[in-house]
Amino acid sequence: MTRLGRLGTGIGWRPEIAEAVEHMPGVDWVEAVSENLCPGHLPESLRRLRERGVTVVPHGVSLGLGGADRPDESRLAALAERAEALGAPLVTEHIAFVRAGGALTASPALEAGHLLPVPRTRDALDVLCENVRIAQAALPVPLAVENIAALLRWPGEEMTEGQFLYDLVDRTGVRLLIDVANLHTNHVNRGEDPAGALAELPVEAIAYVHVAGGVERDGVWHDSHAHPVPRPVLDILADLASRVTPPGVLLERDENFPLPGELERELAAIRGTLEKAGATARGQAAATSAPSPRPAASGTSGTSGTSGTPVLALALAPAHTPTPPAGPGRAPLPGPGPDLGSTPLVTLGPDPDPDPGLAPARQRLALAQAALLSALVAGTPVPEGFDRVRTGVQARALAAKRADVVAKVAAELPELLGTGYRAAFLGYARGRPMTGGYRRDALDFAEHLLLAGHPRDARTRHLLRDWWLERSGPAPRSQRPAARLARVTRRALLRR
C-alpha cells in the first residue's frame, strides 16, 4: 500500500486563484476537485506545482458512496485515473448520497447536484461499508472519506456521527477526512456537540482536515465555502489538534474569492491555531505524566530526549486514546504508528456483508433516499418524520446551487438572459429534477425557454436558439412515433 507522508498546510486549488496559489508562501500541498480535471490535459498551474514537488490530492464529489447503489465503475475508474495522473498519495470522497431512484426503486433516476446526508442507521452503515470496500479495491491509492454538513436530520437515526464513523473505520480500515467546518454546521443546524463527536472519533484514522467558512441566515448555517473562516471553526480545529496532530490541514474556498493576502492570513491563522493547540497539549501531557528517566540505547538515532521514543511517533500520537463509542461488539482500534499508510488501520477478515446479502438493506435505503430526494427536487410530499421547514430550506439551497453551477458551466446563459437568468432558472427547476448532470441541465433549460417562446426579445431568442443548436450535438435518435412527433414539434417551435 502507498505510504502516506505528512502533508502540512494546504489550500484548495481552484482555477480562479491558481496563480495566487502558485505564489503563496508556505503552501505545502493542494487539493483539486477530481471531476474538474482531465488527466491528459492537466492545468498548467497544477503541472508547475507538481514539478516543484507540491503534492496534489484529487477530491471527488460525485461518487455517492452513501447511496444505495454500488459505486459506478466508470466514476471509480475516472477517480483512479486522476490519482495516477497526479501521482497522488491518496484520494478523497464524501460520506453522502448524490443521486437516488432508478432500478432499485423502479422510479426515475434523480440527481441532487449536491452532497446529501446519509441516515445514521445500521442499514445505511452496512451499505456504506460495502461501497467503501468496492472503492478501495478499485483505487490505486488509499481512500479517505469526509463527514459532510447537513441542513436536515433523518428520522429514526440509531447512532451519533462519532459512532457511525468509528464503526465505518473499524469495519473497512478507511481513513477519515474530517471537516471541522462541517462539525460546526451540524452544531448550529442539528444541535450536535463538536467536542462530543471528536471524543468518539478514531482520531488515528485521520488523513487530513478541512477548514472553511460559511454564513448564517435565518438561524441556519450554510457551509458556503465563500466566506472567511469564523472563530468557532478554528476553536473546533484547536480541539481536534489537542487530541492528535493531523497529518495535514487544508483551507477550502470555492466562491467569492478574496485577495491573496486574505487567504494568506487565513492560512496563518490555521497554522497559529495548530501550533498553540499542540503546545498546550504537550504542556498538559508533561504536567500529568512523570516518566522515569531512562538513557537512550547506544547507537539509537531519531529519538526524543531520554525516552527513546521516535520523534515521528510522538508527532502522530494522539494526546489521549479515545474511548470507543458505546455499542455491542466494538473494540478499541489499534493505536497509531509512525506511518498511517503502511498497513490498513485494522485487519479485515472475510467480508461479513457480501453484496448479495445486502440486497434488502440496499432496497430499503434506496426507497428512503428516493423519497427524500424527490421531495427536495421534484416537489413531491415531504416524507414522514422530516422537518418540513428544514426540508424546504434544503430544497431552496439545492435549487440555488443548481442555478449557480449551471451559470458556471454555461456562462453564456446568464450573459444572454442578464438579470432575468436566476428567476427564469429557478422557475424552470421547480418540479423539473436534474437527471443528467449540469451540462445536460443547461441545455434542457435553454430548450425549455425556447419552447415557451422566451426570451421575448427576438434577437436574444435567436442567439439562445443558436447556442442551443450548437451544443445539442449529434446523438442517436429514437424512432418511436412519440419521440419522432416530439422532434417535429420542437423543430417547428424553434423556428419561431
Helix axes 122-138, 359-377, angle to 10 degrees: 100
Residue matched to cell numbers 440496499: 362
Answer whether 170's CB lies under 8 Å from 200's CB: no
Whether the bond into 455 is cis, omega within 30 of 0: yes
Per-residue pLDDT, 494: 55
In this structure, the number of other CB atoms found within 10 A of the CB of residue 462 comes to: 12
Give the pLDDT score at 282. 78
Residue 29 pLDDT exceeds 50: yes
Query: Coil, strand, or helix at residue 6?
Result: coil
User: What mean pLDDT comes out for the span 477-495?
Assistant: 58
Cα–Cα distance, 225 to 492 (Å, whole number)? 44
Split at pLDDT 50, 70, 90, the class of 349 is very low
Confidence of residue 4 (pLDDT cuts 50, 70, 90): low
**180: closest CA among 145, 143, 209?**
209
| Three cell numbers written together for 186 | 451540524
Average pLDDT over residues 367-393: 96
Of 361, 87, 389, 443, whose CA–CA distance to 219 is shortest?
389
**Residue 291 pLDDT level (bands cut at 50, 70, 90):** low
228-264 burial code (b ≥16 CB/10 A, e <16) = bbbebbbbbbbbbbbbbbbbbbbbbbeeeeeeeeebb
What's residue 319's pLDDT? 43
In this predicted structure, what is the pLDDT of residue 124? 98
- Least confident residue range of 25-34, 46-55, 75-84, 289-298: 289-298
Q: What is the mean pLDDT of the chain?
A: 86
Mean pLDDT value of segment 213-233: 91
Q: What is the pLDDT of residue 298?
A: 39
Number of H helices, E strands in the chain: 17, 14
In the numeric block, which cell numbers belong to residue 207?
488523513
Interval 131-147: pLDDT, tens: 999 999 999 999 999 99
Once rounded to an integer, what is the mean pLDDT over residues 294-298? 43
299: left (phi over 0), alpha (psi -120 to 50) or beta: left
Q: Is the pLDDT of residue 344 over 80?
A: no
Q: Give the span between the Cα atoms of 270 and 262, in whole angstroms.
A: 13
pLDDT above 90 for 468: yes
Q: What is the pLDDT of residue 341?
A: 42
